[in-house]
Amino acid sequence: MNFKLTEKKINDIEADLEVIVVVGEDLDHRFVKDRELLEKVAFKGGQDEVYYLPERDRVYVGVESIGGENMRTAIGVLARRVRTLKYKNLKIASYMNHPKCTAVLRGVVEGFILGSYSFEKYKSQKSKSHLKEIIISLEDYREFELNLESCESALEKSKIIAEATNFTRDIVNTPPEDFYPKVMAKVAKDIAKEGGLECRVLKQKDIREESMNALLAVSRASSRKPRVIHLSYKPKNPKAVISLVGKGLTYDSGGLSLKPSDFMVTMKLDKSGASAVLGVMKAISKLNLPVEVHGFIGAVENMIGGNAYKPDDVLVAKNGKTIEVRNTDAEGRLVLADVLSFAQQEVDADYIFDMATLTGASVVAVGNYTSTVMGFSDEVKDMVIQASKRGGEFMTKLDFNRYLKKSLKSNIADICNISNTRYGGAITAGMFLSEFIEEDNRDKWAHIDIAGPAFVEHEWGENPAGATGVGVRSICRVIELLAKRNIECN
């Protein structure tokens, strides 16, 4: 999809289709050309309400008020509606909420790219999208004077991030038969080649040498051998160094603690954390930001078989801690325990973020659309949440507490892989991970449980049914925030 910014007035632009945004149900604005007709069909212009006028080649969409988030979802819904229509290009004016802040433009661009996504790799009949060009006029709804150069740069950033999100969606949507650890390693290598990143892939033998025994136990029953991946982007004079760690369960059957069949369907989603890391790494070199970023991935399949790891086993993790396995379906934390240790061994980062579809409990706690953020430092958690808001993702904090921590006690090992209480499962999983964060790194780390929004079986806003690519937008915004920070202020 091509975007063109122009200083031409909206009415002077030739285009096949015109998009008009109705703000706050105000049908009197000069941009609204079909007031009577819209009133006749009872179109009010509520948030995300779309009305297409084929005879006039116009399409209307409503936003409650002008803002990045509102615009992203409204344009996302509109883009999905017009995707298969036979228009080659469309035009839209600018709807800014400040002459210098490009947040709304970013929402518009991301809305178009994210809303137009569809996953049709496995359909014999593929739908065709004709729309090739989006022309954005700098003529503004409130007549702000906009700066072409800063708009161009915002557009470029948004394009990179939204395309990386779609890339992540493709990976997550791909079935486990076609996407297993070796494939993930190949994708990582391709990203490295394309973006000039470094990439190291650890195969089973190397993983064994690194004593990542918890990860190895999870992978043991699968015919697909595990991989640990380390991608790095190292710009000159970085303002910060961050490590991203992704849960890459290319399939989670539950292992011997087998999932009931209804719960097993969609478990290809369990590679969403790793896929988001891949998406960020794909975006990062193009964004050209002065932040050193390392992506670590534990790519593993959790299956059953004669050599499967068992409830009752005791594993010795990479950091030497012993773990009593009481449920083989709580496998993500075992994989992450070792990959977090590995990441800390390899890189002395200023920030460590892990992303994982870790617990159903996170979804129970906050619903399908929101990720939960955990860790010891409020500053770090708040930074992630602030960035997620800018990126158009929902994230909220879940606090650790020492009473829940006790529920992870084991009689025979250092810790259990599940808690002994039914409640607070997202937090106890996060507290389990915290056991694998070194003392010096406690205030640098945040754990993001993306189990809810990673894969939703219906469309919502700019997200399609299926994989959403959650995490890519938020982490890219974190990196943008860190890139802007003055090192003396840190």
Nearer to ligand BES, 94 or 272 (CB): 272
Binding partner at 214 among ligand BES, Zn ion, none, C-beta below 5 to 8 Å by kind: none
CB of residue 329 vs Zn ion: minimum separation in angstroms?
Answer: 4
Active site residue 81: no
Instruction: Return d(Cα 367, Cα 373) in angstroms, integer.
Output: 14
Q: Is 453 in the site for Zn ion (CB under 5 A)?
A: no
Please choose, from the candidates 40, 30, 82, the residue with its C-alpha nearest in 3D space to the C-alpha of residue 58: 82
Q: Interhelix angle for 103-115 vs 148-173, to 10°?
A: 30
Structure tokens at 219: 């992978």
CB of residue 324 vs ligand BES: minimum separation in angstroms?
Answer: 13
Nearer to Zn ion, 162 or 340 (CB): 340
Q: Is 332 in the site for Zn ion (CB under 5 A)?
A: yes
Q: Is 366 in the site for ligand BES (CB under 6 A)?
A: no
Instruction: Return d(Cα 102, Cα 136) in angstroms, integer.
Output: 13
**Which of these ranges, 171-179, 233-241, 327-335, 338-346, lies near ligand BES under the rule CB under 6 A?**
327-335
Residue 31, number of CB atoms within 10 A of its CB: 18
- Among residues 160, 361, 446, 470, the one that binds ligand BES under rule CB under 6 A: 361
- Positions 269 through 308 that interact with Zn ion (CB under 5 A): 270
Query: How many residues of this chain interact with Zn ion, rule: CB under 5 A?
Result: 6
Q: From the candidates 91, 247, 268, 333, which is the catalytic residue?
A: 333
- Positions 212 through 251 that interact with ligand BES (CB under 6 A): none
Q: Is 248 in the site for Zn ion (CB under 5 A)?
A: no
Nearer to ligand BES, 61 or 451 (CB): 451
Nearer to ligand BES, 285 or 468 (CB): 468
Q: From the candidates 8, 220, 259, 321, which is the catalytic residue?
A: 259
**Which of these ranges, 20-28, 64-72, 351-359, 371-379, lies near ligand BES under the rule CB under 6 A?**
351-359
Q: Is 479:242 a contact under the CB 8 Å cutoff?
A: yes
Give the sheet arrangement for strand 415-416, strand by strand. Answer: 314-316, 322-324, 415-416
Active site residue 259: yes
Q: What residues does 52 pair with on adjacent strands?
A: 59
Q: Is 359 in the site for ligand BES (CB under 6 A)?
A: yes
Strands 351-356 and 50-53: unpaired
- Positions 388 through 407 that interact with Zn ion (CB under 5 A): none
CA dihedral sign of residues 65, 68, 69, 73: positive
Helix (H, G, I), strand (E, B), or coil: what is residue 419?
Answer: coil
The DSSP secondary structure of 52-93, one letter per residue, reads: EEGGGTEEEEEESSS-HHHHHHHHHHHHHHHTTSS-SEEEEE
Q: Is 468 in the site for ligand BES (CB under 6 A)?
A: no
Q: Is 425 in the site for Zn ion (CB under 5 A)?
A: no
Nearer to ligand BES, 67 or 360 (CB): 360
- Positions 67 through 86 that interact with Zn ion (CB under 5 A): none
Instruction: Return d(Cα 434, Cα 416) in angstroms, integer.
Output: 13
Nearer to Zn ion, 301 or 329 (CB): 329
Q: Is 424 in the site for ligand BES (CB under 6 A)?
A: no
The DSSP secondary structure of 329-381, one letter per residue, reads: T--HHHHHHHHHHHHHHH---SEEEEEE---HHHHHHH-TTEEEEEES-HHHH
Contacts of 47 (CB under 8 A, 6+ apart): 62, 63, 64, 70, 73, 74
CB of residue 363 vs ligand BES: minimum separation in angstroms?
Answer: 6
CB of residue 66 vs ligand BES: minimum separation in angstroms?
Answer: 35
Nearer to Zn ion, 210 or 270 (CB): 270
Q: Is 18 in the site for ligand BES (CB under 6 A)?
A: no
**For residue 424, is it left (φ>0), alpha (ψ between -120 and 50) or beta?**
left
Cα atoms found within 13 Å of the Cα of residue 6, Cβ hemisphere only: 19
Active-site residues: which are they? 259, 333
| Residues in touch with ligand BES (CB under 6 A) | 252, 269-270, 327, 329-332, 357-361, 363, 418, 425, 451
| Residues forming the site for Zn ion (CB under 5 A) | 249, 252, 270, 329, 331-332
